[in-house]
Amino acid sequence: MGGDPEDPHLVYANHDFGSQDKDAQFEEMVEYLDNNYISSGQELYRSEQDLFRQCLEWLAAGASIEVDDLISGTRDEQLTEAVGAWSSDPRIRFLELHALKHPSGGGLAPGLVRSKPWRCLGLAFKQGVAKDPLDMLCWHIITLYLDGRLTVRKCRYAKCQKFFDYRRNIRRVYCQDKCRARDQMKSREAMRLYMREYRRIKRTTNAKSQKRGESWLKKLQSMASRVHRDSPRN
């Protein structure tokens, strides 16, 4: 597999199915998975990509599901209802189907095998025989997550939203410098528009009553804090 062999989940999540450009990494990944698992053709990759991206983002953000609104009754009933709601979440169902239900003959495996003297150390789950390539991809992201190695983040630039590995710089929130520059340009433009409007209204309110002006200024102040809050940190 081209580049970092640990990145098939990123290659799949970031592939642009609408683009005519050649994506060598994606093609290589598909070829590898088709040769090692039962091929399901391109359609499966295309139809499941959105849910896979949702799963990836959710796992990377700590795998939390809010179910408070659904709960009533005793504490035990609440617990049952919470877990029930959790297990019917589309992301859980998707990951469970592909990582565990599809493959047959899964089991336990040693975590590590050492030689001289031969010794098996630790314990790991072994996936069974996969039915389709997504079984392998879902298993891959689950095991990375369980090992604490799913170090991915979605690019903060709204027009990009590519996933990237932040291991080299934990503070990174953009996949590349170009995205940071474009996003910050957008923020600077928003600030410029805000300042222009602020000056215009201030001129008007100075001329009119102070009371009326205050309500306008309050609105602008809350708008300013919003612009500030939306501005990227990095």
The interface region with Zn ion, picked from 41-49, 111-119, 145-153, 160-168 by CB under 5 A, is 160-168
Q: Scanning residues 100 to 129, which ones bind Zn ion (CB under 5 A)?
A: none
Give yes or no for residue 160 binding Zn ion (CB under 5 A): yes
Based on CB atoms, which residue is closest to Zn ion, 102 or 154? 154
Backbone angles phi, psi at 164, to 5 degrees: -145, 160
- Residue 99 touches Zn ion, criterion: CB under 5 A: no
| 60 lies in the binding site for Zn ion (CB under 5 A) | no
Q: What burial letters (b/e) apply to 180-213, b meaning 16+ CB within 10 Å?
A: beebeebeeeeeeebeeebeeeeeebeeeeeeeb
Calpha distance 234→231 (Å, rounded) = 9
Residues 6+ apart with CB under 8 A from 60: 145, 150, 151, 152, 153, 154, 163
Question: Does residue 130 touch Zn ion according to CB under 5 A?
Answer: no
11 vs 179, beta carbon nearer Zn ion: 179
CB-wise, 14 or 127, nearer to Zn ion?
Answer: 14
Among 10, 30, 60, 155, binds Zn ion (CB under 5 A): 155
Decide: is 152 part of the binding site for Zn ion (CB under 5 A): no
Task: Give the shortest CB-117-to-Zn ion separation in angstroms.
Answer: 50
List binders of Zn ion among 173-232 (CB under 5 A).
175, 179
Asked whether the bond before 117 is cis by omega within 30 degrees of 0, the reply is: yes
Single out the segment in contact with Zn ion by CB under 5 A; choices: 40-48, 66-74, 147-155, 187-195.
Answer: 147-155
Tokens of 158: 């709204």
What is the nearest approach in angstroms of Zn ion to the Cβ of residue 177?
A: 9
Residue 182 Cβ, how far from Zn ion at the closest point, in Å? Answer: 8
* DSSP character string of 132-168: SHHHHHHHHHHHHHHTT---EEE-SSTTT--EEE-TT
Residue 63 interacting with Zn ion (CB under 5 A) = no
Cβ atoms within 10 Å, residue 24? 11
Q: Where is 234: in which H helix or E strand?
A: none
Total residues interacting with Zn ion, rule: CB under 5 A: 6
Q: Find the shortest distance in angstroms from Cβ 217 to Zn ion.
A: 36
Q: Which of residues 77-96 bind Zn ion (CB under 5 A)?
A: none
Give the C-alpha separation, 114 to 156, whole Å: 43
Which positions lie near Zn ion, rule CB under 5 A?
155, 157, 160, 162, 175, 179
